[in-house]
Amino acid sequence: MIQKTGVLIEVENNTVKETSLGVMTAATGQEITALVLGNASAVKDKLAEYGAAKIVSITAADDSPDLQAAILAAAVKEYNFEALLGTASATGRDLFARLAAILDEPLVSDCVQVNIAEKTVKKSHFSGKTFATLKINSSLLLCTIRPNSIDPAASPVAGELMEFTADVTGLNNNRGLIKIKETKKDDQGKMDLTEAPVIITGGRAIKAAENYKMLETCAQKLGAAVGASRAAVDAGYAPHSMQVGQTGKTVSPKLYIACGVSGAVQHYAGMKTSKVIVAINEDKDAPIFSKCDYGIVGDIFDVVPVLTEKL
Ligand code: FAD
C-alpha cells in the first residue's frame, strides 16, 4: 500500500544535499512530500526529479530547533504522514529527537535500510557487530537514515510547490528556548566526515600530524574527506573530530581508503557499512585485509603519492 511519506530535506547553498536525495530514494514508490525548512523554490526541480509530488516550504519564525520541530510536528498532522524520514546528520538527529518527543512517537535513528510499506528498518547494533531488522508498530514511522547508506536514484514526478506555516503555540512548551547565534564551519572548510562520499583515513602509521598533508593532497583529487584512527588521534596526529570508529564517527562512504590502519574491531565498527573498502598496509597479515574489498601490501609513503599522481 502506498504510504504518505514526508522527507525532511537538508539544503546547503541552494543545493539539496546528496544525503537527502538518498533518503528520498528510500521512499521511492510512496507518495512523497519533501519538507524544506525555508524557501524550497530553488530546489523544487531537483526534488521533483527524485520523486517528490509535493515540495513544501516550511516557514518558521526563526531557526530555533525547538520551534522548527514544533512546526514540523504540525506538518506531520496536516499532511497525515504515515512515515517521516530524515538524514542522521547533526540537524536530523536534533530535529527528529525533538519531533519524537512532541508527537510522542518512537524514533528509530541511524538506519541503513527502510521498508516503508512493511514498516521495517535495518540498523546496526553492538558497535556494528550485528544488524537487526526492526518492525515498527507505531502509527507513524519516524526514522533517520545514515548518510550515504542509500544511493540516490532519480524517479521523476511533476512536483507541486506549496507553503506551510502554523501557529505552534502550545505544541511545544520549550518553544524558542534555544537560539542559534552563529553557525561555524570547520576551521579549514573541510568536508563533514559523516556525509563525505569518499574518505581516506590515516592510522598510527602516519607517524606525524604534518604527514596528513599527503592524505589531504590525495583527498583533493578524490573529492574526499580525511579521517583518522584512534591511535593516530591519541598520538596527537589528528583532532578527535577526524576519528572514525566506535568512539569516533560512524561513516558510510562509497569508498573508504584505510592507510596504515590495522583494522581493529573498534575502527571497523565505524566504517564497516562503507560500500567499497581499500586498505594499504605493509603487513600482509594485518586484520584489515580480511575486511576490505581491495588491498595493497606496501608502505603508505610509497603507495599514496603514486595513487595521487595517477589520480
Ligand atoms: P595500529 O593498530 O597500531 O595499526 C597500525 C598499522 O599500520 C599496522 O597494521 C601496521 O602494519 C601498519 N603500518 C605501519 N607502518 C606502515 C607504513 N609505513 N605503511 C603501511 N602500513 C604501515 N580505534 C579507532 O580507530 N576508532 C575508535 O573509535 C576506537 N574506539 C575504541 C574504543 C574502545 C573502548 C577501545 C578499547 C579501543 C578503541 N579503538 C578505536 C582503538 C582500537 O582498538 C585500535 O587500537 C586502533 O584502531 C588502532 O589504530 P591503528 O590501526 O591506526 O594502529
Residues 160-207 have pLDDT tens digits of 999 998 877 665 555 567 777 887 766 566 778 988 999 999 999 999
Q: From the CB of 128, is ligand 1 less than 6 Å away?
A: no
Residue 45 belongs to a domain with what CATH number?
Answer: 3.40.50.620
Residue 188 included in any domain: no
Q: From the CB of 91, is ligand 1 less than 6 Å away?
A: no
The pLDDT value recorded for residue 174 is 52
User: Where is the domain boundary, 164, 183, 214?
Assistant: 164
Question: Does one domain contain both 35 and 154?
Answer: yes
Total structural domains within the chain:
2
Rounded to the nearest whole angstrom, what is the distance from the C-alpha of residue 208 to the centroid of ligand 1? Answer: 14
The pLDDT of 113-141, averaged and rounded, is: 92
CA R_g for the chain: 21
CB under 8 A, 24+ apart: contacts of 126-129: 127/246, 127/265, 127/266, 127/269, 128/246, 128/250, 128/268, 128/269, 128/270, 128/272, 128/273, 129/265, 129/269
Question: Does one domain contain both 147 and 263?
Answer: no
Rounded to the nearest whole angstrom, what is the distance from the C-alpha of residue 115 to the centroid of ligand 1? Answer: 36
Residue 177 included in any domain: no
The pLDDT value recorded for residue 180 is 77
Question: Does one domain contain both 143 and 199?
Answer: no
Question: Does one domain contain both 197 and 296?
Answer: yes
- Look up cell 607517524; give the residue: 207
The pLDDT value recorded for residue 167 is 78
Residue 178 included in any domain: no
Among candidate residues 262, 75, 282, 293, the one with its CA nearest the CA of residue 163: 75
Question: Does one domain contain both 249 and 118?
Answer: no
Question: Does one domain contain both 30 and 112?
Answer: yes
Question: Does one domain contain both 201 and 133?
Answer: no
Q: From the CB of 243, is ligand 1 less than 6 Å away?
A: yes
This prediction's pTM: 0.84
User: Where is the domain boundary, 164, 184, 203?
Assistant: 164
Residue 286 included in any domain: yes
Q: Using one digit for the tens of pLDDT, what is the confidence trace for 209-238?
A: 999 999 999 999 999 999 999 999 999 999
Residue 134 included in any domain: yes
Residue 279 belongs to a domain with what CATH number?
Answer: 3.40.50.1220
d(CA 5, CA 52): 10
Domain boundaries, position 238: 193-310
Q: From the CB of 227, is ligand 1 less than 6 Å away?
A: no
Question: Does one domain contain both 150 and 284?
Answer: no
Q: From the CB of 261, is ligand 1 less than 6 Å away?
A: yes
Q: Using one digit for the tens of pLDDT, what is the confidence trace for 248-289?
A: 999 999 999 999 999 999 999 999 999 999 999 999 999 999
The distance between the two most distant Cα atoms of the chain, rounded to a whole number of Å, is: 63
Residue 43 included in any domain: yes
Residue 287 included in any domain: yes
| DSSP states along 200-215 | EEE-GGG-SGGGHHHH
Rounded to the nearest whole angstrom, what is the distance from the C-alpha of residue 90 to the centroid of ligand 1? Answer: 26
Residue 113 included in any domain: yes
Atom of ligand 1 nearest to the CA of 231: 49
Among candidate residues 119, 146, 150, 120, the one with its CA nearest the CA of residue 133: 120
Q: From the CB of 230, is ligand 1 less than 6 Å away?
A: yes
Question: Does one domain contain both 120 and 230?
Answer: no
